Structure 1
Amino acid sequence: MDARSAALGTTAFAAVPATMGGVIPWLVGAAAPGSWERSSPGTVAGWLLVALGVTGLAEAFVRFARDGLGTPFPGAPTEHLVVTGPYRYVRNPMYVAVVAVVVGQALLWRSTAVLAYAVLFVTAVTAFVALYEEPTLRETHGDEYARYAATVPRWLPRPGHVWPRPTTTAPHPGR
């Protein structure tokens, strides 16, 4: 896939996390009127999580299109294993970013229902990653993915568990 097609496909796929991490929690939170308090400390933390999550998601999407030459959509996967940017620290920064946005909204809405949705989302994503994504990546990228998975944590960054920076400036040294 060329870079332009990857960028267009990745941009189109953005509707999925926007719905799962934005629209659904917003609708659940909005269903409980009067829960929004602009001056609460939870609001500040909520907006911070939403901002960090949206920023992280955008960065991860750019990496998929630019460095992987593909999309997050399973039907149009990357040609290259993406191990740059936030992928150096966690294997699933898109999901981590969406969870940050959802938890941020739970704080904004002061909503246990949105927090319960976050738990449900994490459970579903964990199953999807373990049962589909990781086996597919192992099959597609072989030893490179095995080394990556052995080095980089699935969800939360840990000191000393970082993928090394590329030694070349070319995004795809194998080409």
Structure 2
Amino acid sequence: MTILRHAISILLLPVTVVVVIPFLLLRTGDAPGGWGGGAGLDLVSRVAGGVLFGVGFALFAWCLLLFARVGQGTLAPWDPTRRLVAVGPYRHVRNPMISGVATMLLGEVLFWRSGRLALWACAFVLINHTYFLLSEEPGLQRRFGDSYRAYRAHVPRWIPRLRPWRG
């Protein structure tokens, strides 16, 4: 049942954000590569986009494993972690999973050179920032109390700290 919980949360959230919505935007919007610039720029953009997507996916997958193993929960708000996750990339930044998904989106923007995908990536970041301020962080504070308050005081929300927090 645990695998099913994770599969449902992955399909409903990051797959929708990184696969379904970009597919629909590309299908109905500007043609991939619509920024111009010729074959050389196209190749550089596709390689950079592929690398960024891979880095974002690796970060997302690492965070997903930490949520399952350390946090004993999923990425879904309706099935959250039972323990505060403050290890691995979470020692540098509070929201590395969202950073990973945003990096995948940025990779898609560069790979497809799509203005519509760029707007979607910006909207995704803005939506998540608002969600974290209004819902996620207050919920974490209620669930984890002083341990979350200490974590929040030392680990930035979006811009990673260079040295890991050793809380």
Instruction: Please report the TM-score for the alignment, with normalisation by the length of structure 1.
Output: 0.83
Question: Is the counterpart of residue 25 in structure 1 residue 17 in structure 2?
Answer: no
Deviation per CA, 1:22-81: give whole Å up to 9, x if none.
Answer: 221233234433527695211111001110111111111110010011112222211110
Give 1:3-152 correspondences, 5 Å limit.
5=2, 7-15=3-11, 16-30=13-27, 31-33=29-31, 35=33, 39-152=42-155
Question: 1 CA distance for matches of 2:71 and 2:32?
Answer: 44
Q: 2:166: which partner in 1? A: 164
Q: Which runs of 5+ in 1 are unaligned?
A: 166-175
Question: 2 CA distance for matches of 1:90 and 1:11?
Answer: 25
Question: 1 CA distance for matches of 2:91 and 2:134?
Answer: 22
Q: Is the 8 A contact 1:137 1:145 kept in 2?
A: yes
AA aligned opposite 2:33 = S
Q: 1:170: which partner in 2? A: none
Q: Is the 8 A contact 1:90 1:156 kept in 2?
A: yes
Number of aligned residue pairs: give it: 160
Q: 1:171: which partner in 2? A: none
Question: 2 CA distance for matches of 1:71 and 1:88?
Answer: 19
Question: 2 CA distance for matches of 1:55 and 1:27?
Answer: 24
Q: Is the 8 A contact 2:90 2:96 kept in 1?
A: yes
AA aligned opposite 2:10 = A
Deviation, 1:127, is: 0.4
**Fraction of identical pairs, as percent:** 37
AA aligned opposite 1:158 = R
Q: 1:142 to 1:125 in 2, by over 3 A?
A: same
Deviation per CA, 1:111-165: give whole Å up to 9, x if none.
Answer: 11111111111110000000000000001101100111111111121224x2218
SS at the partner of 1:40?
A: helix
Q: 1:132 to 1:41 in 2, by over 3 A?
A: same
RMSD: 1.9
